Structure 1
Amino acid sequence: MQRARSVMRNGNLIIHLDEPLNQDHLETVAGSTDQFYIDFEVADTRKARVQQRRLFFALLHDIEVWSFTPKDYLKDIFYTQYEIYTAGKEISLSDDTKSSVSDANTLLDLVIDFMFEWRVPFKKGYELLPRDQQYFLYECCRHRVCTICSEYADIHHIDVVGRTNRNKVDHTKRHVMALCRKHHEEIEHIGPVQFSRKYHVPVEGIKLKLEDLNKLGIRGNYTDEKNTEHDRR
């Protein structure tokens, strides 16, 4: 992870790197230094929030109950994982922390990723989870975990498919969210507006990439897949 500063000038985003790019590493990863793609994140530099600390320790409690591993030991593990992920940057959620909201979110993402990957039951920390974040909605879909109650979920289409054969639908262009059978029936019964008010979740859903839909076993008529197949010929 390389840090940088950016400025907007005449409608262009100009990025100033804190350190020069490693050309050898770039050629190894991207295959070329002539043209490559980057991901960037707009950092929230405000001091890490008390709510983030509460969520972190609530999630650690869930892992502790599931794994019989002491919470302090889990804290050290995830703090170390954060340092590795950020190439040596330290993290703290204490009252006098110098860590930012973005730093704390990165730490929380590492914990949430672990819990989804290992199917750790969300219990104490579930009510505190930021269910308005796209990343959380995506992880619920990817792991088939209900956005509302954490039970096994189906993929609910926000955009009504109707009686169309779902195998003939391009699901990459549809908005979806993960809901168990109970909450799937409820949203269809009371409607998305009332459902959103009741559970405080966004019901516009998210769009999934083709690779995610394939992993979830959701068949459809995918334009990208057709183009890929055509290119192979």
Structure 2
Amino acid sequence: MQLFLPVEEDSNGKLLINLSDVDPPTRRIIAGNVGQLAEIKFDDGRHITIDQRKKIFALLGEIDQWTGNFTMDITERQMKQLFISEKGLDEEFSFSDCSLKLASEFIEFLIGTCFEYDIPFAGKTLDAIREQYGWDMFCIKYHRCMICNQPADIAHVHAVGIGRDRNHISHIGNYVMALCRRHHQEQHRVGIKSFMKENQLKGVKVTPEIAKMLKLGNWQQEQGQNLRFINAE
């Protein structure tokens, strides 16, 4: 059994394991093993962290249910093989001692897989991965809300200004977000600064590549393409 639990220190300097989030059946198993040896791992800053491992297993769990495997070992092996093939790696890797960088890349790969195949995220999984590097970019690419992962439109962090047509100006250097209708309305209601602070959003800076992907403003002219207008008369 593998658990991710917070370690706390009491007033006497003793380290305690907090079981408040553990379900009753698991608590009974733990209680039945009091006095036995248990393996405890702490982050050393070089290898995969506990938080990364938690995200990986949460994402694998979502993929496992969606595929109908219902066997985590099979799903883990399948996703590892796909990742190794895509990255051109020479050997297998382990979630117990792989590098921070590899773990982060694998998490991004799993998130990308979920977006590509429209695999839903459970609430706890969504909370765990929203801060992951690359999340905002996936939301922009697949038009999913950065907050709740519902279908979304592209929202502009900064207004384009009165009298300016956003379809004919350059958006490069500006910031955009992917927001569902509910959160977009909330953004207008509370104001952009309060909204972004409350939801810990930074937005995605528009590059020429992003402008082309989202077809923002005069992206074709930014790409050096000449527009042809056809007279409709």
TM-score with structure 2 setting the length: 0.68
Task: Give the structure 2 partner of residue 161 of structure 1.
Answer: 160
Task: Give the structure 2 partner of residue 83 of structure 1.
Answer: 84
Tell me how far apart the structure 2 counterparts of residues 173 and 211 of structure 1 sit (CA, whole Å).
12
Q: Secondary structure at the match of 1:56?
A: helix
Task: Give the structure 2 partner of residue 27 of structure 1.
Answer: none
Q: What's the offset of the Cα at 1:217?
A: 4.3
Q: Does the 8 Å contact 1:82/1:91 carry over to 2? A: no
Q: What's the offset of the Cα at 1:79?
A: 1.7
Task: Give the structure 2 partner of residue 58 of structure 1.
Answer: 58
Q: Secondary structure at the match of 1:155?
A: strand
Task: Give the structure 1 partner of residue 34 of structure 2.
Answer: none
Task: Give the structure 1 partner of residue 17 of structure 2.
Answer: none
Q: What's the offset of the Cα at 1:57?
A: 1.1
Q: Does the 8 Å contact 2:220/2:226 carry over to 1? A: no
Q: Does the 8 Å contact 1:167/1:221 carry over to 2? A: no
Does the alignment pair 1:116 with 2:111? Answer: no
Q: Does the 8 Å contact 1:171/1:222 carry over to 2? A: no
Task: Give the structure 2 partner of residue 206 of structure 1.
Answer: 204
Tell me how far apart the structure 1 counterparts of residues 191 and 126 of structure 2 sit (CA, whole Å).
23
Q: Secondary structure at the match of 1:172?
A: coil
Tell me how far apart the structure 2 counterparts of residues 178 and 75 of structure 1 sit (CA, whole Å).
30
Tell me how far apart the structure 2 counterparts of residues 92 and 127 of structure 1 sit (CA, whole Å).
25
Task: Give the structure 1 partner of residue 226 of structure 2.
Answer: 229
Matched residue pairs, number? Answer: 180
Task: Give the structure 1 partner of residue 185 of structure 2.
Answer: 185
Q: Does the 8 Å contact 1:132/1:202 carry over to 2? A: no
Q: Does the 8 Å contact 1:45/1:102 carry over to 2? A: no
Tell me how far apart the structure 1 counterparts of residues 56 and 221 of structure 2 sit (CA, whole Å).
41
Q: What's the offset of the Cα at 1:130?
A: 4.2
**What does 1:90-129 align with in structure 2 at a 5 Å threshold?**
90-94=92-96, 97=97, 99-123=98-122, 124-129=124-129
C-alpha RMSD of the superposition: 2.4
Task: Give the structure 1 partner of residue 137 of structure 2.
Answer: 138
Tell me how far apart the structure 2 counterparts of residues 172 and 51 of structure 1 sit (CA, whole Å).
34
Q: What's the offset of the Cα at 1:81?
A: 2.5
Tell me how far apart the structure 1 counterparts of residues 89 and 222 of structure 2 sit (CA, whole Å).
36
Q: What's the offset of the Cα at 1:117?
A: 0.9
Tell me how far apart the structure 2 counterparts of residues 215 and 196 of structure 1 sit (CA, whole Å).
24
Q: Does the 8 Å contact 2:173/2:207 carry over to 1? A: no
Tell me how far apart the structure 2 counterparts of residues 104 and 148 of structure 1 sit (CA, whole Å).
23
Q: Does the 8 Å contact 2:208/2:219 carry over to 1? A: no
Q: Secondary structure at the match of 2:204?
A: coil
Q: Which runs of 5+ in 1 are unaligned?
A: 1-43
Q: Does the 8 Å contact 2:130/2:146 carry over to 1? A: no
| Cα pair distance change 1:128/1:229, threshold 3 Å | same
Tell me how far apart the structure 1 counterparts of residues 115 and 57 of structure 2 sit (CA, whole Å).
16
Tell me how far apart the structure 2 counterparts of residues 93 and 221 of structure 1 sit (CA, whole Å).
42
| Cα pair distance change 1:219/1:141, threshold 3 Å | same
Q: Which runs of 5+ in 2 are unaligned?
A: 1-43, 228-233
TM-score with structure 1 setting the length: 0.68
Which AA in structure 1 matches 2:175? H
Q: What's the offset of the Cα at 1:177?
A: 1.1
| Cα pair distance change 1:221/1:48, threshold 3 Å | closer
